[in-house]
Amino acid sequence: MVSIVIAGASGRMGRALIEATIETIDAVLIGGTVRSGSTLIGADAGELVGKKKIEAPIHDSLEAFSDHGPVVIDFTTIDSTINHLSWCVNHRVPCVIGTTGFSSDQEKNISEAAKTIPVVYAPNFSVGVNVIFDLLDRAVRVFGDTADIEVIEAHHRHKVDSPSGTALALGRVVAHALDRDFETSAVFGREGQTGVRPREQIGFATVRGGDVVGDHTVLFAADGERVEITHKASNRRTFANGAVRSAVWASQQPPGLYSMKDVLGI
User: 107 — alpha (psi -120 to 50), left (phi > 0) or beta?
Assistant: alpha
- CB count in 10 Å sphere of residue 194: 9
Residue 63 DSSP class? G
Q: Tell me whether the CATH fold assigned to 2-125+236-264 matches the one assigned to 127-233.
A: no
Contact (CB, 8 A) for 58 and 37: no
- Nearest-angstrom CA–CA distance, 99 and 187: 23
pTM recorded for the entire structure? 0.83
Active site residues: 155, 159
Where residue 101 falls among pLDDT bands split at 50, 70, 90? confident
For the chain, report the end-to-end CA distance as a whole number of angstroms. 25
- Residue pair 62/76 in contact (Cβ under 8 Å)? The answer is no
Q: What is the pLDDT of residues 149-206, one digit of tens each?
A: 999 999 999 998 899 999 999 999 999 999 999 999 999 989 999 999 999 999 999 9
- Ordered by start, the domain boundaries in the chain are 2-125+236-264, 127-233
Classify each residue of 223-244 as buried b or exposed e, where b means 16 or more C-beta atoms within 10 Å of its C-beta. eeeeeebebebeebbbbbbbbb
CATH number for the domain running over 127-233: 3.30.360.10
Domain over 2-125+236-264 is classified CATH 3.40.50.10860: no
Segment 3-21 mean pLDDT: 95
**Per-residue pLDDT tens for 221-237?**
999 999 999 999 998 89
